Amino acid sequence: MPRLLDLTDLDWGNWLYGLVAGFVGGGSSAVVSSIAITTVAPDVVMRGGFYKIVIAVFLFNGVKDTFLYLSKAPLPPVKVVETVRTVEKQAEPDKTTVTTVEKTTISPAESPKV
């Protein structure tokens, strides 16, 4: 009987990294927006509303890109487990020894790009 999927079998680290990267990548457009705001509406900068607008643009774009990432990866991908077996043979005049070394590596699954 196959084993049921466990929460530890999911690649939470890369998934959370993708969420944060989506938020920061989307929010980074606030830098470009701030340049556009200062050139189009310099009176907003003089009245002190500049930072409120930049923060709002950062948050809205960051949340938007985070949800875009979630639409591509609603759950973390399952980790890929690979088992490698190595057999070494040592020949001596009177006997042969066979040693089996088993190495299991867990590599993260590839997460979607935003």
Name the pLDDT band for 23 (thresholds 50, 70, 90).
Answer: very high
Q: What is the per-residue pLDDT for 114?
A: 56
- Dihedrals phi, psi of 94, to nearest 5 degrees: -110, -10
More confident residue, 16 or 77: 16
Average pLDDT, whole number, for the chain?
76
pLDDT at 15 over 60: yes
pLDDT digits (tens, 9 = 90+) for 27-78: 888 878 878 888 888 887 777 777 888 888 889 999 999 999 999 989 888 7
Q: What is the per-residue pLDDT for 68?
A: 92
Q: How many CA atoms lie within 13 A of 84 on its CB side?
A: 4
